[in-house]
Copies of this chain bind each other. A is one copy, B any other.
Amino acid sequence: MFRKEIKVLDCTIRDGGLMNKWQFSKDLVKSVYDSCVAAGIDYMEIGYISSSDQFPRPEFGPWKFCAEDEIREIVGDNNTGTKLSVMADIGRINYDDIRPKDESVVDLFRVACYDYQIDKAIDLAHHVMDKGYDATINLMAVSKVNDRALDQVLEDVANSRVKTFYLVDSFGSLYCEDIHSLLDKYRTALPDRTIGFHGHNNTQLAFANTIECIRGGANMLDATMLGIGRGAGNCPLELLLSFLKNPKYRLEPIIKCIQDYIYPLKQNIDWGYFIPYMITGSQNDHPRSAMAWMASEQKDDYLAYYESVVKNKEI
């Protein structure tokens, strides 16, 4: 599939960090960055941007904060074809802590929000745009949003200056036909905006849903190396690149980084397809109870987890 408008965003560090509180070695982060540059990836999302009083250090690693000096230790002035992105959660960043774009190597702020936070998200997006950055809004957990609320969100975004809006399958619960239908709705409501997609792999559909989005006209696609990410993880970057035929992308640097740095993380982090994550995905639930189960002594007692989930549904 070749369409020159398509952009790929690597969020290996940002989403993968949800599994280890962003405690990656500097070597690993540098390798991910260098590989993205060498592979022709359009954006690398290096972490969440949060004000330093929001989370305790050293419990959380540097990519929970994305301080300018720590980003520059990895990327220098980033004179490359790969732009840098950070994700902002509503309420985690003080407006005054955001420096003007000409003092930062960051190019793009992605504002993640729930439907009821859309006004705050648009306000933050406009704020960073006024400081010189690009901005997207990523509406999370759309599988739980009812039609009327979603129409309101889309209308608000249509009336904003935000140029890119993301379809996000936060729980990994959407089937291809759900994706098809939502994307159609997004594109109809926002005909002059770019639509992005961020999937999760609970039911092994993150890559399939990304292809569905490509076919439906989404032009900004999230992926991570070896699919590393929260719970079941994300669309694997190496699969996405093998599908896209745009000659600007190269697979080898990604395979090398996976081999040297990402695959070895599997010794300590259980991301990917595990039965508890599959259960929350197929039930359209937040993965938090599955993540807690996977962090417990009884992680391999899948039946007990399943029974607890079903029992909770019946109450």
**Complex contact A238–B278 (CB within 8 A):** yes
Asked if A255 is an interface residue, CB under 8 A from chain B, the answer is yes
- Bound Cα distance from A307 to B255, whole angstroms: 10
Q: Report the Cα distance A255→B226, complex, angstroms.
A: 25
**Is the CB–CB distance between A252 and B306 below 8 Å?**
yes
Residue ID in chain B nearest A202 by CB atoms: B239
A239-B204 in contact (CB<8A): yes
A208–B211 Cα distance when bound, in Å, is: 11
With CB as the reference atom, state the residue of chain B lying closest to A282. B242
Q: List the one stretch of A64-72, A99-107, A123-131, A295-303 in contact with chain B.
A: A295-303
Query: Residue A93 at the B interface, CB < 8 A?
Result: no
Q: Across the two chains, which residue of chain B brings its CB closest to A263?
A: B300
Q: CB-CB < 8 A to A238: which residues of B? A: 275, 278
Q: How far is A300 from B301 in the complex, measured between Cα atoms in Å?
A: 29
A252 and B306 alpha carbons, distance in the complex (Å): 8
- Within the assembled complex, what's the spacing in Å between the Cα atoms of A69 and B287? 46
Q: Does A186 contact B (CB under 8 A)?
A: no
Chain A 34-67, CB-CB to B under 8 Å as 1, else 0, gives 0000000000000000000000000000000000
A184-235: which have CB < 8 Å to B? 201, 203-208, 211-212, 215, 226-227
User: Which A residues between 261 and 303 are near B, CB-CB below 8 angstroms?
Assistant: 263, 272-273, 275, 278, 282, 300-303
Contact of A203 among B176, B207, B258, B275 (CB under 8 A): B207
A236, A263, A300, A303, most chain B CB atoms within 10 A: A303
A259 at the interface (CB under 8 A from B): yes
CB neighbours (8 Å) of A256 from chain B are 302-303
**Given A211-B175, A275-B258: A239 touches B306 (CB 8 Å cut-off):** no
Q: Please report A residues at the B interface, Cβ cutoff 8 Å.
A: 175-177, 201, 203-208, 211-212, 215, 226-227, 236, 238-239, 242-243, 251-252, 255-256, 258-259, 263, 272-273, 275, 278, 282, 300-303, 306-307
